[in-house]
Structure 1
Amino acid sequence: MSELQSLEDLGEAIAPTENEAPVHVQKLDAHGRAYATGKRKDAIARVWLKPGTGKIIVNKKEFNEYFARPVLQLILRQPIMLADRDGQYDINVTVTGGGLSGQAGAVRHGISKALTYYEPELRPILKKEGFLTRDSRVVERKKYGRAKARRSFQFSKR
């Protein structure tokens, strides 16, 4: 290793070469599972993904029992269907906070992240569809002197 004489030498030594994309590696825990956290509105989903038969358990219930509406089930399965991995992974989810719609979005975000941790080559497909981006829209807070966040109290002339 050569000795650095100035700050320019330091910049050249640590500068990445052109066309060098970040390398994503597989991230697994001691049990061979991929873990990810998904968020949407006030909901937080903790997702564990491992190879299996395609069972999706949400808060110790089947996902179609927990999310009874077909639209929410569709949202939940989007990343799996897009990646063409239906029936290949067992997914265990613990979700808290928010309502059912926010929870379904949080679970989708968590499953997408866990899939990329288990199979990094799926990242471009899921990123293109926007499943890896946390939807940052949250409910606006109520202001004082207002009925809700923006609604005023009814005006009375007399």
Structure 2
Amino acid sequence: MAELQSLEELGGAVDTAAPEAPVHVQKLDAQGRAYATGKRKDAIARVWVKPGTGKIIVNKKDFTEYFARPVLQMILRQPLMITERDGQFDIVATVTGGGLSGQAGAVRHGLSKALTYYEPDLRPILKKNGFITRDSRVVERKKFGRAKARKSFQFSKR
């Protein structure tokens, strides 16, 4: 190990290369599927994505049967539409807790994360549209001395 005689030598000894952006790597399980967990309100969805014909199964039912309202079906398919991957992946999801709207949001969140694990190049598109970020809005708790979270009991002067 050589000793440095001046500060000029120190400048040449230190690596001045700028740190590179982190490279995202594909994360797959033994069956070649990408897995992610999505959350929204009280709902938690476990989502598996693998290449296929575009079949979407939610809790062992077709997603059009499970989410009967077209708005919920649209919410669930948004990540596929934006990334132009509709019909290229088979999606299996199990979702628990909350209501149907929260469950659809949880599946969308999980699907977005799973797509980024399968194809890391899709992350900027999904991130820009806000699908990777968990929607942290939850129901406010009820306080004591109140009728609901914020509503007071009716005031009576007499």
Same fold, judged at TM 0.5 (above): yes
Which runs of no fewer than 5 residues in structure 1 stay unpaired? 3-11
**After TM superposition, where is structure 1 displaced by more than 4 Å over at least 4 residues in a row?**
none
Name the residue aligned to 1:9: none
Name the residue aligned to 1:70: 70
Confirm whether residue 154 of structure 1 aligns to residue 154 of structure 2.
yes
Q: CA RMSD for the aligned pairs?
A: 2.1
Name the residue aligned to 2:10: none
Letter in 1 for 2:104: A
Name the residue aligned to 1:7: none
What SS does the aligned partner of 1:50 have?
A: strand
Name the residue aligned to 2:114: 114
Name the residue aligned to 1:144: 144
Name the residue aligned to 1:104: 104
Partner Cα distance (1:62, 1:76) in 2: 12
Cα deviations by residue, 1:120-145 (Å, 9 ceiling, x for unpaired): 00000100001000000110000000
Partner Cα distance (1:142, 1:43) in 2: 20
What SS does the aligned partner of 2:37 have?
A: strand
User: CA offset at residue 157 of structure 1?
Assistant: 1.3
Cα deviations by residue, 1:71-92 (Å, 9 ceiling, x for unpaired): 1000000000101001100000
Confirm whether residue 93 of structure 1 aligns to residue 96 of structure 2.
no
Q: 1:149 to 1:48 in 2, by over 3 A?
A: same
Partner Cα distance (2:16, 2:152) in 1: 55
Identity %: 82
User: CA offset at residue 18 of structure 1?
Assistant: 2.2
Q: 1:39 to 1:17 in 2, by over 3 A?
A: farther
Q: Count residues in correspondence.
A: 149
Cα deviations by residue, 1:11-64 (Å, 9 ceiling, x for unpaired): x98x99425111100000011000000000100000000000000000000001
Which has more radius of gyration? 2
Partner Cα distance (1:82, 1:120) in 2: 15
- TM-score scaled by length of structure 1: 0.89
